[in-house]
Amino acid sequence: MPLSQLQHNYFYRAEHIRVTEEGVIDSGLISGYRLMQQAAQAVFDVIESRYPQGKICIVCGPGNNGGDGYELAHLCHQAGRAVQVLQWAPHKAVSGDAHVARSNLKATGVAIQPIEHEAQLPIAEDCQLIVDAILGNRCRSEANAALSALFRSINQHSADVVSVDIPSGLHADTGVAINGAVNANITVTFGAYKLGLLTGQARLYRGQLLLADLGIGDQFERYSQHLGQRCDARDIATFIKPRQATAHKGQHGKLTVIGGDLGMPGSVKLAAEAALRAGTGLVTVVSHEQHQAAILQNRPELMFCRCELVDMEVYSRLGWANVLLLGPGLGQQEWGYNLFKACILSEKPLVLDADGLNMLAIEPSRNDNWILTPHSAEAARLLQCNVTEIENNRLQAVQALQQKFGGVVLLKGPGTLIYDGQQLVVADVGNPGLAVAGSGDLLSGIIAAIWAQGLSAFDSTVAAALIHGSAADVAAEKGQRGMLPSDLLPYIRTMVNP
**Would you say residue 258 has pLDDT above 50?**
yes
- Classify domain 11-225 by CATH number: 3.40.50.10260
Q: Flag whether 196 is marked binding.
A: no
Annotated binding-site residue? 32: no
Q: Which pLDDT does position 498 carry in this prediction?
A: 87
Helix or strand holding residue 110 (H, E): none
pLDDT tens digits, 451-490: 999 999 999 999 999 999 999 999 999 999 999 999 999 9
Length of the chain: 498
231 is an annotated ligand-binding site residue: no
Whether residue 7 is predicted with pLDDT greater than 60 in this model: the reply is no
pLDDT band at 4 (very low <50, low <70, confident <90, very high): very low
Residue 412 marked ligand-binding: yes
Question: Average pLDDT in the 161-175 region?
Answer: 97
Nearest to 137 by CA among 103, 113, 171: 171
413 annotated to bind ligand: yes
Q: Which amino acid is at 14?
A: A
* 312-320 and 334-346 helices, crossing angle to 10°: 50
CB count in 10 Å sphere of residue 387: 14
CB proximity list for 400: less than 8 A, separation 6 or greater: 383
Q: Tell whether residue 132 is among the known ligand binding residues.
A: yes
| Residue 231 CA, distance from chain mean position | 9
Q: Are 322 and 255 in contact (CB under 8 A)?
A: yes
The reply to whether 207 sits in an annotated binding site is no
Q: What is residue 8's predicted lDDT score, i.e. its pLDDT? A: 52
Contacts of 459 (CB under 8 A, 6+ apart): 1, 239, 450
- Cα–Cα distance, 437 to 424 (Å, whole number): 27
Q: 1 pLDDT exceeds 50?
A: no
Question: Which helix (H) or strand (E) is 252 found in, with range?
Answer: none
* Each residue's pLDDT tens digit, 366-415: 999 999 999 999 999 999 999 999 999 999 999 999 999 999 999 999 99
Q: Tell me whether residue 155 is annotated as binding.
A: no
Show me where the domains of the chain are located: 11-225, 235-495
pLDDT attached to residue 34 = 98
Per-residue confidence (pLDDT) for residue 93, from 0 to 100: 86
Residue 68 known to bind ligand: yes
The kind and range of the H/E element at 258 are strand 254-258
CA 268 – CA 249 distance, rounded (Å): 22
The alpha helices in 183-244, defined as continuous H runs, are 202-205, 220-223, 236-239
Mean pLDDT of the chain: 95
**What percentage of residues in the chain have a pLDDT greater than 70?**
98
| Residues whose CB is less than 8 angstroms from the CB of residue 268 and which lie 6 or more positions away in sequence, other chains included | 257, 258, 259, 260, 285, 287, 291, 295, 328, 329, 441
**CA 327 – CA 304 distance, rounded (Å):** 16
Greatest distance between any 2 Cα atoms in the chain: 86
Q: According to the model, what pLDDT value does residue 68 have? A: 98
Q: What is the DSSP string of 143-198?
A: --HHHHHHHHHHHHSSSEEEEESS-TTS-TTT---BTB----SEEEEESSEEGGGT
Quote the CA–CA distance of 138 and 184 in Å, as a whole number.
Answer: 17
Q: Round to whole Å and give the CA distance between 397 and 384.
A: 11
CATH number of 235-495: 3.40.1190.20
Q: How many C-beta atoms surround the C-beta of residue 245 within 10 A? A: 5
66 is in an annotated binding site: yes
3-state helix, strand, coil in the chain (%, to 5): 45, 15, 35
Express each pLDDT in 67-103 by its tens digit.
999 999 999 999 999 999 999 988 888 999 999 999 9
Does residue 469 have a known ligand-binding role? no
**375 annotated binding-site participant:** yes
* Helix axes of 14-26 and 32-50: crossing angle, nearest 10 degrees: 120
How far is the CA of 160 from the CAs of 138, 139, 363, in angstroms?
A: 23, 22, 51
Task: Kindly state the percentage of the chain with pLDDT values over 90.
Answer: 90
Q: Tell whether residue 267 is among the known ligand binding residues.
A: no
- Residue 3 above 50 pLDDT? no
Q: What is the pLDDT of residue 6?
A: 41
Q: Is 341 annotated as a binding residue?
A: no
Burial of 147 from C-beta contacts in 10 A (0-12 / 13-18 / 19+) = buried
User: Taking 50 as the threshold, does the pLDDT of residue 5 lie above it?
Assistant: no
Backbone torsion region of residue 109, taken as left when φ is above 0, otherwise alpha when ψ lies between -120 and 50, otherwise beta: left
Distance of CA 399 to the CA centre of its chain: 15
Q: Is 27 annotated as a binding residue?
A: no
* pLDDT band at 221; cut points 50, 70, 90: confident
Q: Is 392 known as a binding-site position?
A: no
**Cα distance between residue 449 and residue 461, in whole Å:** 10
366 is in an annotated binding site: no
Full-model pTM: 0.95
- pLDDT given at position 92: 85
415 is in an annotated binding site: yes
Residue 138 has pLDDT above 80, yes or no: no
